[in-house]
Amino acid sequence: MANSLSARKRARQSERNRRRNASQRSHVRTAIKNVLKAIESGDKTAADAAYKVAVPAIDRSVAKGIMPKNKAARHKSRLNSHVRSM
């Protein structure tokens, strides 16, 4: 348990940030899963639409520091190649 006032405040901030980051990370993972589900079902229009929703979510997570930019680029590249190969 934090003893000093500043340590207590930092603990509160860390918990608040952890929850926010977890929510954002979950949003991105859901968007990626939606693209993969559309690809597996074989529906190209749904896959395109889901991909167009997923890309800004991935980019937002990079801007917020939740995901490294190279990991985001890798996700976008792989999803795009799957969609294009349909």
Encode pLDDT of 16-45 as tens digits: 999 999 999 999 999 999 999 999 999 999
Q: Which residues of 60-77 are buried (b: 16+ CB within 10 A; e: fewer)?
A: ebbeeebbeeeebeebbe
Cβ contacts of 77 within 8 Å, gap of 6 or more: none
| Residue of higher predicted confidence among 59 and 86 | 59
pTM of the model: 0.86
The residues near 51 (Cβ < 8 Å, ≥ 6 apart) are 35, 79, 80, 83
Q: Is the pLDDT of residue 85 over 80?
A: yes
Q: What is the pLDDT of residue 27?
A: 97
Residue 35 in tokens: 């693209």
